[in-house]
Structure 1
Amino acid sequence: MDSGARAATWRRSAVENRSASQQAAAKAVTSVRAGSSPPMISHSHTVPLLSPAAAAGGDGDEEQRRRRRVLSKDGRSNVMMAHVSGRRALYLRDLWTTFLDMRWRYKFFLFCATFAGTWFLFGLLWYLLAATHGDLADLTAASEHTPCVTEVRTLTGAFLFSLESQTTIGYGSRVITEECPAAIVLLIFQLVVTMVMEIFITGTFLAKVARPKKRGETVKFSRHAVVSTQEGRPCLMVRVANMRKSLLLGCQVTGKLLQTWPSEEGAALRLDQRNVSFRVDTSSDSPFLIIPLTFYHVIDDGSPLRAWAAQGQKCTPADFELLVILSATVEPTSATCQVRTSYLPDEILWGYEFPPVMSLSTSGAYVANFAFFDKVAKAKRQPADAEKTPRPERRRDGGAPSLRISNV
């Protein structure tokens, strides 16, 4: 069977699975009465409805689905670099970044191995110096021979002297004498080399601990994106929350739509990137992320999602991935922080909306209930097809049309 026939079979099976999932979703979700709060649907309830193919295929299909992401849900790259000539040499030229990207277990191993290796290496040099100077011979108390380093007659003694010198312990039994200028030069060389090494390794440890990547882990994206109607237009919405008391300054949320296209031969893939703009309420510049906010993208004529949304619930599972990127400045350290996540087509829920998470306590304080953060509810009104959606009227001042949605 050629690649075209396989693709047609896959699309036909995907449409059937999607229709079955929609019927199951319609039965599982109760209708919303006017004036009542929308029903909550937990993530455990939505997964079987949105991924029937994965549920039928078992763990193998789920693993394949995870691997075909360009970006994982926690923002890590899934792209594998193959057949890169001279990769090790390139990494060695940029030791600082290589050490920062290294995993902690490898960093601790390299830390211990580096210090133990330098102790042993300079111990060998001290042992060779003692052997050259004739300090290893059994000397009587009446001998007039003055060694380079006292009490260094074995390799073990040389190793201990190297360790004591490098760590500035200095127990007192092993001492450099004025008889051997080469020993003084070797001691200076050892201290300079090990000092530079300690500064480099300590710096990488501190830089890795202070990386804004850890601050980004306290920024939470909703597990699903939703599409619902706002002011008569379909909007794709993503919920974002800052889990810390310290603020993120100058927040910017952008999106990238990645879509793969097979080549004519069917072997290679071309990855196209298109910009997806996000805003919150009527502002698109630096939202104040002190409470969980809902960022939305209007699916209009200029949206890269227009062709996908025009088919509505009858659309086939397109092969694309939506990347959502939040860039901000960490308030305590002024470091730039970037948080990323991605959404596959079956993680974008058509006709759902986010329930409110903000409320007032009895004492009058604002409370963000994260028990509802990842939950969704069936929208009261299904999104209209993008092709049938009327174009928004322009304001008289020539600006963009005003659109306001709830942030919480």
Structure 2
Amino acid sequence: MKSKMGIKVSKLDEEKSRKDSGFGTAATSTRARLILPDGTFNVTRKGQSFSAWLNLYHRMITMNVFSFVLVIALSYFLVNLVFAVIYYLIGVEHLNGIEEQTKFISKFWGAFFFSSQTLTTVGYGHISPLGSLTNAVAAVEALIGLMMFALITGLVYGRFSTPSPKVLFSGNILVSPYLDINGLMFRLINERNSQLINVEVNVMMSRNEKDEEGKLTRKYYNLALERDMIQFFSTSWTVVHPITPESPFYNETSESLKASDTEILIAVEGMNDAYADPVHVRTSYLYNEFLWGKKFVPVLSEKGTGYVLDLKKINECVEAPLNN
């Protein structure tokens, strides 16, 4: 009984100490990437409620500028279109200032532009509502306009106030000579002029392994780094994992990485000095994105009394024989 209890405690301790990235331990195929190169999680949710799927505020904050402007413009047009139809159905004769027209198009667009003046509360005064029903509709539209533009203002502020780091990662992760051993290396550069400080990086190795029962499971290992934090991220940073005998990457080859579906998961966080807010970026490298026996070329050069950081060289590397 004690031995059984001892085994249970041992397994419990082992489970508590197990590294997990949050993706679980289910073995993945060689086509299943955990984190996409742009930092988004490669997870599709099924069975969501409509409100959770829509998540309108998050969509509006995170969509690109063109899509954001397009959604705002379409929303503005559709609201005016709906109220233009309502005014037309009530009768344009209840809109004082619209000249008598026999054509449908002229009457409808008159109602449409009256709607836009009411929605924005501009109210040029050329057209005014007549009758209780038309005035009631105009009052409701004015209220909707106030709320609509308050929401748009909040969304615009949210987009501008949210830190949007632009950290570039090298296209490949290198296995390079490092001191008298070898090291696993990738490079990152802050593309924006805003400065990042107290930047910290966490690197995790994920691969498929067989457990004691012969079942294929996903295992995770934190990779010890030469340094995992820098105070000033002013130029570029080559992150290095020394491949020592204690490293989970020790004795790995391109073939073994492919067989175990190895993926390197990277999370970077720091502080944006302009906003005084934390920023987070993520990426990953698959087994087929490793380059062996290469090293990065410098991206920083002197010019006069200053320095030049050449972002176009972030992926450039040269041959470098590995240490035996």
Segments of 5+ residues of structure 1 without an aligned counterpart are: 1-63, 137-146, 385-408
Name the Cα RMSD after superposition: 3.6
Change beyond 3 A, Cα 1:301–1:199: farther
Aligned to 1:225: 173
Match of 2:145 in 1: 194
Kindly state the Cα deviation for residue 69 of structure 1 after the two structures are TM-superposed.
3.0
Structure 1 residues 229-244: aligned runs within 5 Å = 229-244=177-192
* 2:262 maps to 1:298: no
CA contact (8 A) 1:327 1:339 kept: yes
Q: 1:279 to 1:331 in 2, by over 3 A?
A: farther
Matched, 1:374 2:288: no
Q: Name the counterpart of 1:46.
A: none
Instruction: Note the C-alpha offset of 1:322.
Output: 0.7
Q: Does 1:88 align with 2:50?
A: yes
Letter in 2 for 1:170: G
Please give the TM-score of this superposition, normalised by the length of structure 1: 0.58
In the alignment, the residues of structure 1 paired with residue 194 and residue 68 of structure 2 have an alpha-carbon distance, to the nearest angstrom, of 30
- Structure 1 residues 230 and 321, CA, compared in 2 at 3 Å: closer, same or farther? same
Show the counterpart of 2:116.
Answer: 163
Instruction: State the TM-score, normalized to the length of structure 2.
Output: 0.71
- The aligned amino acid for 1:274 is Y
Shift of 1:254: 1.1
- 1:325 — aligned with what? 267
Deviation at 1:269, TM superposition (A): 8.4
Distance 1:98 1:104 in 2: 12
Secondary structure in structure 1 of the residue aligned to 2:258: coil
Assess if the C-alpha contact under 8 Å between 1:321 and 1:342 holds in 2. Answer: yes
Question: Post-superposition shift, 1:301?
Answer: 5.2
What CA distance in whole angstroms lies between the structure 1 residues aligned with 2:67 and 2:311? 36
1:317 is matched by which residue type in structure 2? K
CA separation of 1:269 and 1:158: change in aligned 2, threshold 3 A: farther
Higher strand proportion (structure 1 or 2): 2
- 1:251 Cα deviation from its structure 2 partner: 0.5
Q: Spell out, residue by residue over 1:181-231, the C-alpha distance to the aligned partner (whole angstroms, 9 max, x if none).
A: x55443332112122112223433443355433x32xx2222222233434
Instruction: Note if contact 1:277-1:297 (Cα within 8 Å) is conserved in structure 2.
Output: yes
1:237-252 matches, within 5 Å, as 237-252=185-200
Q: Does 1:75 align with 2:39?
A: yes
Match of 1:175 in 2: 128
- Please name the residue that 1:341 is paired with: 283
Residue range with higher mean Cα deviation, 334-343 or 249-258? 334-343
Residues 280-299 of structure 1: matches in 2 within 5 Å? 280=227, 284-299=228-243
Deviation at 1:105, TM superposition (A): 5.0
Other structure's SS at 1:317 match: helix
- TM-aligned CA deviation for residue 290 of structure 1: 1.6
- Residue 118 of structure 1, aligned match among 50, 74, 79: 79
Deviations 1:262-298 (A, max 9, x none): 99xxxx9854443334343xxx333422222221113
Q: What is the DSSP-based 3-state SS (H/G/I as helix, E as strand, rest coil) of the residue aligned with 1:191?
A: helix
For the 8 Å contact 1:91–1:98, the answer to whether it is kept is no
Give, as a single letter, the amino acid of the residue that structure 2 aligns with 1:207: G
Residues matched between the structures, number: 285
SS of aligned partner of 2:159: helix
SS across alignment from 1:114: helix
* 1:241/1:103 CA distance change after superposition, 3 Å: closer
CA displacement at 1:248 relative to structure 2: 0.6
Does the CA contact (< 8 Å) of 1:291 and 1:368 recur in 2?
A: yes
Question: Which one of 183, 196, 202 corresponds to residue 254 of structure 1?
Answer: 202
* Equivalent residues of 2:120, 2:142 under 8 A apart: no
Aligned counterparts of 2:254 and 2:123: Cα–Cα separation in 1: 77
1:255: Cα distance to partner?
1.4
Separation in 2, partners of 1:287, 1:279? 15
Q: Which blocks of at least 5 consecutive residues in structure 2 are unaligned?
A: 1-28
Cα 1:116–1:96 shift into 2, 3 Å: same
Distance verdict in 2 for CA 1:91–1:378, change over 3 Å: same
1:202 & 1:168 partners in 2: Cα distance? Answer: 16
Describe the superposition over 1:307-335 as per-residue Cα deviations: whole angstroms up to 9, x where unpaired.
Answer: xx324577463411112222122222223
In the alignment, the residues of structure 2 paired with residue 332 and residue 175 of structure 1 have an alpha-carbon distance, to the nearest angstrom, of 48
Query: 2:293 & 2:73 partners in 1: Cα distance?
Result: 56
**TM-aligned CA deviation for residue 96 of structure 1:** 0.6
Whole-angstrom CA distance in 2 between matches of 1:322 and 1:195: 49
Q: Residues of 2 paired with 1:245 and 1:105: CA distance? A: 23
Query: Given the superposition, is the C-alpha separation of residues 377 and 107 from structure 1 closer, same or farther in structure 2, using an over 3 Å criterion?
Result: closer
Query: Take 1:120 and 1:298, find their aligned partners in 2: how far apart are those partners?
Result: 64
- Residue of structure 2 equivalent to 1:97: 58
